[in-house]
Chain A
């Protein structure tokens, strides 16, 4: 076997390892990405589209991501940004708010309790009014039972920062929902 074919073989095996690892990450983190996106776009199909784009970008940069343990954090931040861009570009905010006001319970999406649905709709509206840095904390703590430590790791911020943001966000939500 000559050097060129050996090198090509090595590169291909590295690439195969990358692909295998990426497949594992995709299976592991797709729910997280979709939930993060859903926390912003509030529409299942749009959330999947945003998460799909985030994974495509992640794949492009996957080989250059040195610390792959931080992949989830990177993915969350990318998904959040894409979701925000998605909302801004399509100007769906107003439509979404209107839809939330005239909300109808759907199987699997909302609970059957109408009072709870109304309360959730009001909460979403209040969350939308929060600044971005507080909104992302509220959404992430509501996903997969993330605690302060996990949210800090995902956002690459200090735990103290996340705690104070949580406090501020809860206070603002309480004021908005009174």
Chain B
């Protein structure tokens, strides 16, 4: 089958042109006007919808900002000891006594097994008690020490901001001006061959 030549294609496109030369029906303009007249209701609904969306976004932003700010605060709790320490301490204090007695009277095997279980309990409790997420930094400080720590931190910040005068060693005592820095002198480095290394090139020929 031969490909269509230009004339045949032009004829086909001319038919296409003829088919596309349709005219709008007489009632077309009236239909458009009717649809446009029915628009205001939809437009009103859109305004309310957009207002609702904007309000929701605003509330979400404010809530997010508040939540972020609350995350930065230092939480001071009167119960100082964290749960991890408590569990380990209780395990350590309770178990040794019976272990020691059984170890003295009977065989050493139960002792090791008991110690193993203690260790196992310890490790599992540590593993379970350790918080998986470290989003909020909690500093456990007694309230009476907190004030002192805050004062110390503010003092440190203030002293770090101060800009002192340049060092006295850089100022000429007679003129009172800054002494220009001397260029650094680096002595020449001479590389001497190692004893007994003469004649070796080190490379493979």
Q: A residues bordering B, Cβ < 8 Å?
A: 26-27, 30-31, 34-35, 38-39, 44, 47-48, 51-53, 55-56, 59-60, 108-111, 116, 119-120, 122-124, 127, 138-139, 142-143, 145, 170, 173-175, 177-178
Whether A48 lies near B25 (C-beta < 8 A) is: yes
Q: Can you name the residue of chain A whose Cβ is closest to the Cβ of B3?
A: A178
Whether B24 lies near A142 (C-beta < 8 A) is: no
- Chain A residues contacting B22 (CB-CB under 8 Å) are 31, 34-35, 38, 44, 47, 108-109
* B45 contacts chain A at the CB level, 8 A cutoff: no
Whether A110 lies near B19 (C-beta < 8 A) is: yes
Q: How far is the CA of A142 from the CA of B20 in the complex (A)?
A: 7
Q: How far is the CA of A31 from the CA of B31 in the complex (A)?
A: 14
Whether A52 lies near B20 (C-beta < 8 A) is: no
Beyond the given pairs A52-B35, A120-B15, 12 more chain A to chain B contacts, judged by CB atoms under 8 angstroms and listed by A's residue number, are A30-B28, A38-B22, A51-B24, A52-B28, A56-B32, A60-B43, A119-B11, A123-B16, A142-B13, A143-B17, A145-B17, A177-B9
Whether A174 lies near B3 (C-beta < 8 A) is: yes
Residue from the list B5, B16, B29 in contact with A120, Cβ < 8 A: B16
Closest 3 CB pairs of A and B: A178-B3, A120-B15, A123-B12
Query: What's the nearest-Cβ distance from chain A to residue B35, in Å?
Result: 5
Interface residues of B in 1-45 (CB under 8 A from A): 1-5, 8-9, 11-13, 15-25, 28-29, 31-32, 35-36, 39, 43
Sample of 6 A–B contacts (CB below 8 Å): A34-B24, A35-B20, A48-B28, A51-B28, A143-B20, A178-B4
- Chain A residues contacting B4 (CB-CB under 8 Å) are 173-174, 177-178
- Chain A residues contacting B16 (CB-CB under 8 Å) are 120, 123-124, 127, 138, 142
Q: How far is the CA of A139 from the CA of B17 in the complex (A)?
A: 8
